Amino acid sequence: RDAAVHAAIDLGASSGRVITGHLLDGVLRTEEVARFANTPVAVPRRGGDTLYWDVLSLYRGALEGLRAAAAPHGGLASVGIDSWAVDYGLLDADGALLGNPVHYRDARTTGVPEKVFEHLPADRMYAVNGLQVQQFNTVFQLAAAADDPRLAPLARGALLVPDLLGYWLTGERVWELTNASTTGLVDARTRDWAQECLEVLEGPFGVPVRGLLSRLVEPGAVVGRLEARESVGAAAGAPLVAVGSHDTASAVVAVPAATPNFAYVSSGTWSLVGVELDAPVRTEESRAANFTNELGVDGTVRYLRNVMGLWVLQESLRTWREQGRDVDLADLLERAARVPALACVVDVDDPRFLPPGDMPARIAAYAAETGQRPPEGEAELARCVIDSLALAYRRAVHQAAELSGKDVEAVHVVGGGSRNTLLCRLTAEATGLPVVAGPAEGTAVGNLLVQARAVGAVEGELSDLRRIVADSFETRTYRPEAASAPWERAQRFLWPE
Ligand code: ADP
Ligand code: LRH
């Protein structure tokens, strides 16, 4: 039995994967043992559709991956699970799942933050939870679901997605803190429940939220052991470690920076752009700039903005496919690189880009409304998206540095977007900073390292873990070669502030 192999279950919004990791002489060797689609499903109900995550197919994919990971070694040293933030499954008195978790892109939360702010004003809420207002934060999802009979009286528990899978594997219920910090229910300073936020759900909305929660645990805690079942194969008995179960928290662990003076972009379906801090920034300027204070591994704070991300490109590809045009991503990006820069830019964070749908049509409408010539053809459209993302990164990196007082000497891009050479080159140009790209599976790498440390396979602080990442994975550096003045002008065009 080779007890030195760890397995990360990493559920991204576009795909899930199980990746194993093995540490030898300060180098982490990883192997992808399973990858499975993550395809949300819209299901009709009276008056419309609800968009759900297909959590059972994700669980099945995770189980197959665990069996494949454990089989060659006769077991696993540890397992860790991470996923996207905010979404939860409800459990009844027997611990049975009460319906599929609703997807954060479902329309049920439209207009809900404003209703919550009537009872707990936005500035007061920010002073406690430090979160960027996004309509899908769990606190707003729970308020939106107030009348759902599954919530009261049936629900006796709720778990965020990684903790839900962890419960199915071990029988133990926890709320891992980095992911819990995205809900709006946690105080960013005390790293404990935010009583005022719980009270607003219980009082005016009648959601018995305290009865749904379990104990908060910091990343690094051992949750329990995988119960022996045929479905987990030789992984039975392995310890489940609470990692940075928010995917972005694990991704930030895997930034291969040698100094603390970096900004990061965790670039996948979403782009999370910011800096790492010791304490939250909850000033009025920070709230006005819509910056979030999510909690990180080892007592850190991830001070960042959610940027809508490569989602807009993914949905464009899907739209074209539905229209009968199967566009290859690599070829598309090559053509986009030859299109003139900054011909048309959009604010990718405009709420119209949140729900699934025809992004090329939405971009055309946005361009027309702002007096720009809409992109023509696929390459121009892709260029518009990539330029707009680089522009949003520029603004967020500069604002994060300004609002937090942090020195930023380089931008690290991790996640699938680090493979997009056009995006990385333009990010260097737009920010005027060197961009270091990789690792592309940063989330799984951060997940693996926190597990390995928790079970004693490696020691050290975040800086030591980051040295392992730097020694284990190739990165590519892009230096800002072109002038950033056109980006400054484009930024002023979109955000005249
Ligand atoms: P998530 O974890 O949200 O599912 P990933 O980090 O896996 O996302 O990133 C997926 C995105 O990365 C894709 O939408 C795609 O735009 C980009 N990507 C992945 N591989 C490549 C590649 N070889 N070239 C360019 N972009 C890529
Ligand atoms: C990225 C992510 C992001 C959240 C979003 C819902 O996958 O976790 O940090 O804001 O999903």
Helix (H) or strand (E) holding 163: helix 161-170
**Ligand lying closest to the C-alpha of residue 14:** 1
Ligand 1 center from residue 70 Cα (angstroms): 27
pLDDT bin (cut points 50, 70, 90) of residue 3 is low
Is the beta carbon of 439 within 6 A of some atom in ligand 1? no
Q: Which residue's alpha carbon is at the smallest distance from atom 2 of ligand 2? A: 84
Is the beta carbon of 419 within 6 A of some atom in ligand 1? yes
Closest C-alpha among 34, 36, 38, 35 to residue 68: 34
DSSP state letters, 143-158? HHTTT-TIIIII--EE
Ligand 2 center from residue 291 Cα (angstroms): 14
Tokens of 317: 């590809």
Q: Which residue's alpha carbon is at the smallest distance from atom 26 of ligand 1? A: 420
Ligand 2 center from residue 113 Cα (angstroms): 18
pLDDT by residue (tens digit) across 180-197? 999 999 999 999 999 999
- Residue range 73-85: mean pLDDT, rounded: 98
Is the beta carbon of 291 within 6 A of some atom in ligand 2? no
**Biggest CA-to-CA distance, the chain:** 65
Q: In whole angstroms, what is the distance from residue 414 CA to residue 385 CA?
A: 19
pLDDT bin (cut points 50, 70, 90) of residue 423 is very high
Closest C-alpha among 83, 66, 84 to residue 75: 66
Q: In this predicted structure, what is the pLDDT of residue 152?
A: 85
Question: Tokens 């975040």 identify what position?
Answer: 462
Q: In whole angstroms, what is the distance from residue 17 CA to residue 15 CA?
A: 7
Is the beta carbon of 101 within 6 A of some atom in ligand 1? no
Amino acid at 391: L
pLDDT bin (cut points 50, 70, 90) of residue 484 is confident
Q: In whole angstroms, what is the distance from residue 21 CA to residue 34 CA?
A: 13
Q: Going by DSSP bridges, is the β-strand pair 48-52/41-45 parallel, antiparallel, or unpaired?
A: antiparallel
Amino acid at 176: E
pLDDT by residue (tens digit) across 82-133? 999 999 999 999 999 999 999 999 999 999 999 999 999 999 999 999 999 9
Is the beta carbon of 417 within 6 A of some atom in ligand 1? yes
Mention every residue, 6+ apart, whose C-beta is less than 8 A from residue 290. Answer: 132, 133, 305
Is the beta carbon of 414 within 6 A of some atom in ligand 1? no
Q: In this predicted structure, what is the pLDDT of residue 150?
A: 87
0.90 exceeded by pTM: yes
pLDDT bin (cut points 50, 70, 90) of residue 497 is confident
Catalytic residue, chosen from 187, 247, 347, 349, is 247
Q: In this predicted structure, what is the pLDDT of residue 153?
A: 87
- Residue range 437-449: mean pLDDT, rounded: 98
Instruction: State the ipTM, two decimals.
Output: 0.99
Q: In whole angstroms, what is the distance from residue 136 CA to residue 259 CA?
A: 34
Is the beta carbon of 205 within 6 A of some atom in ligand 2? no
Q: In this predicted structure, what is the pLDDT of residue 2?
A: 44
Question: Which ligand 2 atom is at minimum distance from the Cα of 84?
Answer: 8
Rounded mean pLDDT of the chain?
97
Is the beta carbon of 38 within 6 A of some atom in ligand 2? no
Q: In whole angstroms, what is the distance from residue 137 CA to residue 85 CA?
A: 9
Closest C-alpha among 268, 356, 364 to residue 319: 356
Question: Which ligand 2 atom is at minimum distance from the Cα of 104?
Answer: 6
Question: Tokens 């005390």 identify what position?
Answer: 190
Whether residue 163 lies in the annotated active site:
no
Q: Taking each helix axis from N to C terminus, what angle separates 485-494 and 377-404, rounded to the nearest 10 degrees?
A: 90
> What percent of the chain stands above pLDDT 90?
97
Which one of 272, 310, 418 would you pick to mutate in the ligand 1 pocket, going by the greatest count of ligand atoms within 8 A of its CB? Answer: 310
**Ligand lying closest to the C-alpha of residue 161:** 2
pLDDT by residue (tens digit) across 296-315? 999 999 999 999 999 999 99
Ligand 1 center from residue 417 Cα (angstroms): 5
Is the beta carbon of 248 within 6 A of some atom in ligand 1? no
Q: In this predicted structure, what is the pLDDT of residue 1?
A: 37
Ligand 1 center from residue 37 Cα (angstroms): 13
Is the beta carbon of 53 within 6 A of some atom in ligand 2? no
Ligand 2 center from residue 141 Cα (angstroms): 15
**pLDDT for residue 135 is more than 70:** yes
pLDDT by residue (tens digit) across 206-237? 999 999 999 999 999 999 999 999 999 999 99
Which one of 359, 420, 421, 424 would you pick to mutate in the ligand 1 pocket, going by the greatest count of ligand atoms within 8 A of its CB? Answer: 420
Q: Taking each helix axis from N to C terminus, what angle separates 359-369 and 311-322, rounded to the nearest 10 degrees?
A: 120
